Amino acid sequence: MQAYDVVVLGAGTGNMVLPPPTGGKRVAIVEPDRFGGTCLNRGCIPSKMFVVAADTATTARRAARLGVHASVDRVDWPAVRDRVFGRIDPLHKSAVDYRHAQGVDVFTEPARFVGPRQLMVGDEVISGETILVVAGSRPVVPEIPGLADVDYHTSDTIMRIDQRPESMIVIGGGFVAAELGYVFEAFGSDVTIVHRGPRLLMNEDEHISERFTMLAAERHRLVLNSDVVRVDREGSGIAVTVKGPDGESVLTAETLLVSVGRRPNTDLLDVAAGGLEVDGHGHLRTDEYGRTGVPGVWALGDVANHYQLKHMANAEGRTVLHNLARPDDLRALPSLTAPHAVFSEPQIASVGLTEQDARARGIDFQVAVRDYASTAYGWGLEDTTSFVKLLAEPGGGKLLGAHLIGPDAALLIQPLVQAMALGQTARQVAQDVIYIHPALTEVVEQALLGLLD
């Protein structure tokens, strides 16, 4: 059995928190797939590169409202795909070579715990004085009758297909459905989204979810309040039987994308054999500093938290690195301000409490909503559907939540995220900051001032 000072499970965020060998320490990293993890290879980064191309096509088609007459001759799917993965795929080998050059042992076979701080990697058992479990998550594949007998895709595979499908059915109504449904629609596919809820993006503020669903219905066929009964082959495509308020119906398409959520990879690691505990969702239990119940074993990212956000994993990684280096000065993992964005059309960004959350918790709050159209730049965009919604303590107190839908939402929300993280009040951010005119940030300013009315 090889003994290491540090073993890192997972080379996504795990590759970022991997300490280099120093002072004779032995360091190993285990990654049975590709360095870079989900974010780089099949998640955040490639999907946003596709979104950039989709935005370009969408902007051209909508330019006539500005007096600019443009059209999209065609979308070369292989060229779009190869631009994305031609940039991404070489990074795996360079990352492995870099770690080898540092003196890090790289294991490329799956690992599982066989005892506290002991792992079976392939046919070899290794141990670690310190083990960082950063093994990520994977798409959930629901138990739908017939699904295993047809060709279907998840977010892991859909972006690497050889040809754009003429038609696609998407099962699910969350981030992946919103983003990739938009991408394929913008490139010319006929997209149908089947969702068991009454709206898409149900976890967003209800006002945001309702507006997004209304706009999505203009691009896609939405089959809401419906469950998938079974999936069958239909010629060269697939048939999806759904049951909704009006009974059963059959939908057909060339391609099926399943996007109903993600699950932590703890079940692949046999974590119980390592003495590690999981919660009801399968996430590793840790304390506020990232420590599991086994001394020397730490966990972070999707395998341990419920955010499923790379920026939260990155922030946790920085915290755990600090805690490893300074055990007498431990820092708590970030949790109070966890922003997110949906890079669809329109774009969405959110942080903090939704209105329905605040009401359910009995929290006293006030709300302000401002349309993009109320600003000069909004006029320039000819925007009629985008808005900013803010929640704060009454009297211009601390911001409780911010929810944006529209162009550049993920950028516009950042000063609000900062204000919430630093404990600034709505009054401070509204009155003590000068906003550039006529920038789009004025819609944030107007919403903040609305909290003072």
Q: Which amino acid is at 310?
A: K
CB atoms inside a 10 Å sphere around CB 141 = 13
* CA–CA separation, 67 and 342 (whole Å): 29
Q: Which of 195, 207, 340, 437 is catalytic?
A: 437
Contact 304, 297 (CB under 8 A): no
Name residues whose C-beta falls within 8 Å of residue 279's C-beta, 6 or more positions apart in sequence.
Answer: 285
At 319, give phi and psi (nearest 5°): -70, -45
* CA–CA separation, 407 and 92 (whole Å): 33
Query: Residue 441 CA to chain centroid, in angstroms?
Result: 24
* CA–CA separation, 108 and 178 (whole Å): 33
Contact 218, 345 (CB under 8 A): no
* CA–CA separation, 154 and 259 (whole Å): 6
- If we measure between CA atoms, which residue out of 333, 330, 284 comes closest to residue 312? 333
**DSSP SS3 for 4:** strand
Per the annotation, the verdict on 69 as an active-site residue is no
* CA–CA separation, 419 and 393 (whole Å): 14
Contact 389, 208 (CB under 8 A): yes
Residue 421: both structure tokens together: 């993280």
* CA–CA separation, 282 and 278 (whole Å): 5
Name residues whose C-beta falls within 8 Å of residue 447's C-beta, 6 or more positions apart in sequence.
Answer: 368, 369, 370, 388, 389, 390
* CA–CA separation, 168 and 18 (whole Å): 40
**Cis check: omega of the bond before 90, within 30 degrees of 0:** no
Contact 205, 354 (CB under 8 A): yes
- If we measure between CA atoms, which residue out of 8, 14, 7 comes closest to residue 38? 14
* CA–CA separation, 31 and 37 (whole Å): 9
Going through 98-226 in order, the beta strands assigned E by DSSP cover 105-107, 111-115, 118-121, 124-133, 137-139, 167-171, 190-194, 221-223
**DSSP SS3 for 427:** helix
Contact 254, 166 (CB under 8 A): yes
Query: Which residues are designated catalytic?
Result: 437
